[in-house]
A and B are shown apart, each in its own frame.
Chain A
């Protein structure tokens, strides 16, 4: 049985201009020890689907799903109190902006110990010991002194390490990292990614990495799921995705990477991601797709079998076609 199963998840936001569908029929499956990356551009619904699962969306959001279970617990009709027992303990999350996700009024030691206090049955001295242990684990030098530091006294990389320490405090079985390195410099990004990969190996937890950076995906993930305008358009093992993409969007995205460019002019994807008012009728990518025909514009595409990367496309790309 898999650790996390989500089937046909949809999230609608009640906006001034009517309902807006941010996530549209997304399936997610994560096993113990998996590293899954969810990639997509801004507005593709990658963060919203995770926030929906954590129950962190505002009341304007309507969440529907055929199945949403974590470790056998049904997350759909879990009350707030029962949910608090799961999130932060078995399932935790780190966010993009480490500087703004820490509370500036409390020391980092207090913030790490807070989740230990809520979820675990430890006394004061044990909590302090565990907090120091955690800070050592994430590679913060001189942890005993740093426990008393306030967030503004730490650099971006150090704050993100503190966030990771907080997320790991109760030995979660699933860690969701939402753009964990976007706000950091490359050398620090490399440190944090290595740290996450090492911790994942050590503890055997599952890791969901949400990102828009194809390089981060290639270096860290095992399995990749590509999202576009709220839909999952493709899912593959990481090597397969980069060498043999099946959905035209994935292929176009990879071709647009500057390091894959063969000429001075980069291949581009014309147009922009559809918004609330210009959502196409058939395939959501059809207005920007160079292979699209009338069928694509009228009928929503089916999901292809797993050997075609579960591509949501009428005419998935296969390697033979590329050669021809």
Chain B
């Protein structure tokens, strides 16, 4: 087993509100996330807003400490004592390339910064050489080294963000909606770059997205999340051609397809995501599910089996 990352029952709860006399509420942003990613593979996490995708990203990139569960990166347990050591193994690319680059720094400085912090002994010359090399790797020209972020288009900025993430030669790259802020014609350029880099550097990706057509293109494995819990897990083929959880099925049918076809049946989901402060007792999806029965409302189903789906009455 050469998993770059393995997580076991990862959870993150936040306390909110509460005053002098009232008890604070607990938001269970993420519970029971268990997964592994091998080198050169992509795990895609899909779900709607509020399902805990970004919390998962923050835990894996060691920005926050999990409330429960364990996380192993490259065989080392990720406890806060080890964070310093592990940070260069995991890097992240954010959604908005307009917000994630410092406008007052030149591209060169942006790329060198991770090395300055994490490899303080490296001579300046070597640092610069590495940054220039990286610039070429992500398909930018050498003269871009001395420019400022505002001189670049969205797609180029996302390339810079990817380059910065790769400066420390990480083994795992967390991609938090890397293409959803980009136009369609630019989106395909960035996706191609990510696929190339993965092949060349044998990177593991944790790809977070709400766009199922992008996920279908890049992922090896897919985890579907709903209200802070994974509800289905499987290979790309399993999840897309034979979805077992009703939520996955609804999500797939809600995604507009680009083949005009008026006869297509769409599963209509009633209502919206319940508040994460008051997650239903039974299956969290039961209030919106069209086949929920009494058992669903009372007992929470677990993820089990070969192609696990947390549902009492799975499809297929």
A residues neighboring B (CB under 8 Å): 41-42, 155, 157-158, 185-191, 193-194, 212-216, 218-219, 238-239, 242, 252-254, 256-261, 264-269, 272-273
Contact = CB atoms under 8 A, between A and B. Distances in A.
B257 A218 contact: yes
A266 B210 contact: no
Nearest to B253: A190
Given A186-B48, A191-B268, A258-B213, A215 B187 contact: no
A218 B260 CA distance: 5
Interface in B241-271: 250-251, 253-261, 264, 266, 268-269
B42 to A, nearest CB: 12
Given A186-B210, A258-B213, A258-B216, A212 B260 contact: no
A58 B255 CA distance: 36
A185 B268 CA distance: 14
B268 A190 contact: yes
B189 A41 contact: no
B185 A253 contact: yes
A256 B187 contact: yes
B188 A258 contact: yes
B143 interface: no
Contacts of B218: 258
Closest 10 CB pairs of A and B: A215-B256, A258-B217, A190-B254, A185-B48, A266-B188, A269-B185, A41-B183, A259-B213, A256-B188, A219-B256
B79 interface: no
A170 B129 CA distance: 65
By DSSP majority rule, is chain A's interface helix, strand, loop, or mixed? helix
A266 B216 contact: no
B258 A214 contact: yes
Contacts of A267: 188
Interface in B120-163: 153, 155
B238 interface: no
Given A193-B256, A219-B257, A266-B191, 15 more contacts: A185-B48, A185-B49, A187-B250, A190-B266, A218-B261, A219-B260, A253-B185, A259-B213, A259-B217, A259-B257, A266-B192, A266-B217, A268-B185, A272-B155, A272-B186
Contact of B188 (A157, A193, A216, A268): A268
B258 A259 contact: yes
Contacts of B153: 272
Contacts, number: 107
Contacts of A157: 272
Contacts of A239: 260
Interface of B: 48-49, 153, 155, 183-189, 191-192, 195, 210, 212-214, 216-218, 250-251, 253-261, 264, 266, 268-269, 272-273
A216 B189 contact: no
A186 B216 contact: no
Contacts of A259: 213, 216-217, 257-258
Contacts of B273: 155
A253 to B, nearest CB: 6
A254 B258 contact: yes
12 contacts: A41-B184, A185-B49, A186-B48, A190-B256, A190-B268, A194-B268, A215-B258, A242-B260, A258-B213, A266-B217, A268-B185, A273-B183
A194 B195 CA distance: 35
B254 A252 contact: no
B205 to A, nearest CB: 14
Contacts of A273: 183
Contacts of B264: 219
A267 B189 CA distance: 8
Nearest to B195: A264
Given A256-B187, A261-B217, A215 B255 contact: yes
Which of B48, B210, B218, B254 has most A Cβ within 10 Å? B254
B189 A265 contact: no
B254 A214 contact: no
Nearest to B155: A272
A252 B195 CA distance: 20
B50 to A, nearest CB: 9
A242 B258 contact: yes
Which of B188, B251, B257 has most A Cβ within 10 Å? B188
A185 B180 CA distance: 12
A190 B153 CA distance: 31
A218 B256 contact: yes
Given A191-B268, A265-B192, A186 B258 contact: no
A187 B251 contact: yes
A59 B250 CA distance: 46
A257 to B, nearest CB: 6
Contacts of B259: 218, 242
Nearest to B193: A268
B189 A268 contact: yes
Nearest to A41: B183
Contacts of A42: 183
A214 B48 CA distance: 20
Contacts of B187: 256, 258
Contacts of B192: 265-266, 268
B304 to A, nearest CB: 25
B190 to A, nearest CB: 9
B292 to A, nearest CB: 16
B53 to A, nearest CB: 12
A154 to B, nearest CB: 10
B288 to A, nearest CB: 8
A190 to B, nearest CB: 4
Contacts of B260: 218-219, 238-239, 242
Nearest to B269: A187
B249 to A, nearest CB: 11
A187 B185 contact: no
